[in-house]
Structure 1
Amino acid sequence: MNALNKFAKFTRGVLLAGATGILAASAAEAADYTAKIGHLESDQQSRNIYLQKVAELVKERTKGEVEFQIFPSGQLGNQREMTEAVQLGVLEATVSPAAFIGGFNPAVSILDIPFLLPADAEKAQKLREGPFGAALLESFSSKGVVGVALWPNGLKNFTSNKPLDNLEDFAGQKFRVMDSKILIEQFDALGASAIALPFGELYTSLQTGVVDGQENPLDTIQRMKFNEVQKYLVVSEHGAMEDVVLFNPTWWNNLPADYQAIITAAFAEVVPELRAHKAKAVEAALATIKESDINVRVASDEEKAALREKMYDKSKAAYIERAGDTGKNLIAVYEKAYSEVQ
């Protein structure tokens, strides 16, 4: 199937989803502004649960004039298809993992830099809502979409089939990463090598020794059963997994300014509950992981600081090389904001 036919099929899917939403709401008075919002997580996961909460808040506070219809589990396509559909106006909005849209907007790959956000959740939120977050969201405007919010969606941790008792243990090990020069440099700084592999191949690659280890949030490690084919886990919380809320600019700019403010505020308001829900999922995942044979160790604050010092500069240089002047300017904003929240 060629690209044009793929997009035609995707467009028909979005239109069908829209028609389904209209039929479902036929008994109610139609909203003045309706947005279909697509994303990849299941309806039981944190992202979807709190998107529904945002939809409720927005509907209530606009007296029913703005309605969000949420489509989880990739119902409207893969992330690239949804992002492009938002850009073209076929879809009103999507909530995307930042790691999935670095090719679309290289500036967002700043979130690949290890230990970018403070360990303290409140300090991290100040970065999201402050000048750094605003500058990162603004970087999407030149890509034909409107960045409305950043949402936390977990932290990555290291696992391996070889010991990870200290920084020196990383040397010579092979880790699977997403296809990111920044993540490759992150491991190079530790004397390790990184191999970009599709996520679907990771379990088998760990099992057969193609790679020694990997990095992912605890709930992902547990859900994908990586703990069954790994011997060591370090709860390092070194990598931020952030979501970006993107809207089509035509739809967004047609909203009254007070509705834009209501939507933006609703996305920010639910973050504490979103974090708490995610934390429970992570806590449950860790408990399940500990029941397996894997050795679990929690990194100390001192170890995390040493890891950050080791990895930050090389990862930052790789990011600036990729994102150019935009990235260099965003790093300057970030470093100033980071120093102010410490």
Structure 2
Amino acid sequence: MASALIAATAMLFAATAGAQEVKHYRFAHDQQLNSGYSVAYDIFSAKLKELSKGTMLVDQFPGAQLGQEPQLLQLVKGGDLEFAIVSSANTSTISPQAGVMSLHFLFRNEAHVIKALADKQVIDAIKAMIDETTQGLHVIATGSQGVRNIYSKKEVSKVDDVKGMKIRVQATATEDTMFPAYGAQTVHMPFGSVYTSLQTGVVEAAENSINVYLINRHYEVAPVLSITEHEANNALVFISDKLWQSLSAEQKQWVTAAAAEISANEPAKAFELERTAATKLKTMGVKIVDNVDKSGFTKIADPYLDKLAKELGPHADKIKTLIRAIN
């Protein structure tokens, strides 16, 4: 009986210790479910749970529940949030050189985006850029929400159509250079304010990927989507340095391996969401302008590729060169 009691006690202690080892972490973003961001979460959380044998569980906080992207970055930097996926454009609020990922027409097509975001040299260069230009957080993966297009109450079929147009853009040096070069007026605001601003006429247009346009119902106030494909909608996945430093070597390997699954698989899934969203929008009566003459845009944008990358800094210039070299 004594032996049985000792064995039972040992088993209970082991079970209790095992339960104590299970930890929950938060993964936040500003998009709705069924977005590229939530796909990134699904991939990462499932793989980390598998590798850690259920000891590292990640809970999702979508829809800006914990704040808009600039706020999420500050939470991660301060160690008050473990993981976040944030657009590379908004990342430029803490590391201006990240604006290189927003250069217009940097990527040739969908296949180029997918291949570049999975490229080890590109990923390593992005990681180095963040580690050497800011503190408190690290990049562990790249992601995508497709490419960005302009939406409004009227068509944009050529570059002349945006002259004088008030367009909500992300607050980056890249956007503030490129859209005025096309003749547009740029307006900055948090993503959560875009719907109301389009509705009230504070801005005439905005730009984002097709699925983001759909799931945030921006088509209700801007029913014409013009496929300009002027910019890749890139994202970066961050881990707080506070969490990173607290992990064991084995746990760091698990996190790194789970994050690699995002870079390898999420971008292609994001583009699948784009195609599905476009089909759904057409059935809903949204006007999609597929035959945009991009030549006027690219003629203006091309000379800025090298110029802006160099102005942003050496990390930006290296990343631009690596991306352009990918075939």
- TM range, normalised to the smaller chain? 0.7 to 0.9
Q: Is the 8 A contact 1:118 1:124 kept in 2?
A: no
1:324 is aligned to none
2:253 counterpart (255, 261, 270): 261
1:35 is aligned to 25
Q: After superposition, give the CA deviation of every residue in 1:155-191 in whole Å (9 maximum; x if it has no partner).
A: 2101234442223333333322233332132122222
Q: Is the 8 A contact 2:117 2:267 kept in 1?
A: no
Is 1:336 the counterpart of 2:321? The answer is: yes
2:163 counterpart (160, 171, 179): 171
1:182 counterpart (142, 152, 174): 174
**Matched residues, number:** 311
Superposition deviation, residue 292 in structure 1: 5.3
Superposition deviation, residue 329 in structure 1: 0.8
* Greater shift in the superposed pair: 198-207 or 58-67: 198-207
1:285–1:114 CA distance, 2 compared to 1 (3 A): same
Question: What is the root-mean-square deviation in Å for CA atoms of aligned residues?
Answer: 3.3
1:63 counterpart (53, 60, 68): 53
Secondary structure at 2:109's aligned position in 1? coil
2:98 is aligned to 108
Aligned-partner residue type, residue 331 of structure 1: A
The 5 Å alignment of 1:66-85 reads: 66-85=56-75
Superposition deviation, residue 200 in structure 1: 4.7
Q: Distance in 1 between matches of 2:166 and 2:246?
A: 50
Higher relative contact order (CA 8 A, sep 6+): 2
Q: Distance in 1 between matches of 2:34 and 2:161?
A: 37
2:85 is aligned to 95
1:217 is aligned to 209
The 5 Å alignment of 1:318-329 reads: 321=311, 327-329=312-314
Q: Distance in 1 between matches of 2:195 and 2:81?
A: 34
Aligned-partner residue type, residue 76 of structure 2: V
Structure 1: runs of 5+ lacking an equivalent:
1-24, 322-326
Q: After superposition, give the CA deviation of every residue in 1:63-107 in whole Å (9 maximum; x if it has no partner).
A: 345443433344444444443332232332222233333222212
Aligned-partner residue type, residue 220 of structure 1: V
Is 1:249 the counterpart of 2:234? The answer is: no
1:225–1:45 CA distance, 2 compared to 1 (3 A): closer
1:120 is aligned to 110
Superposition deviation, residue 54 in structure 1: 1.9
Q: Distance in 2 between matches of 1:156 and 1:124?
A: 15
Q: Distance in 1 between matches of 2:224 and 2:30?
A: 29
1:26–1:125 CA distance, 2 compared to 1 (3 A): farther
For the pair shown, the structure with the greater C-alpha radius of gyration is: 2
Q: Distance in 1 between matches of 2:108 and 2:252?
A: 29
Q: After superposition, give the CA deviation of every residue in 1:121-148 in whole Å (9 maximum; x if it has no partner).
A: 3554335533233222222223221111
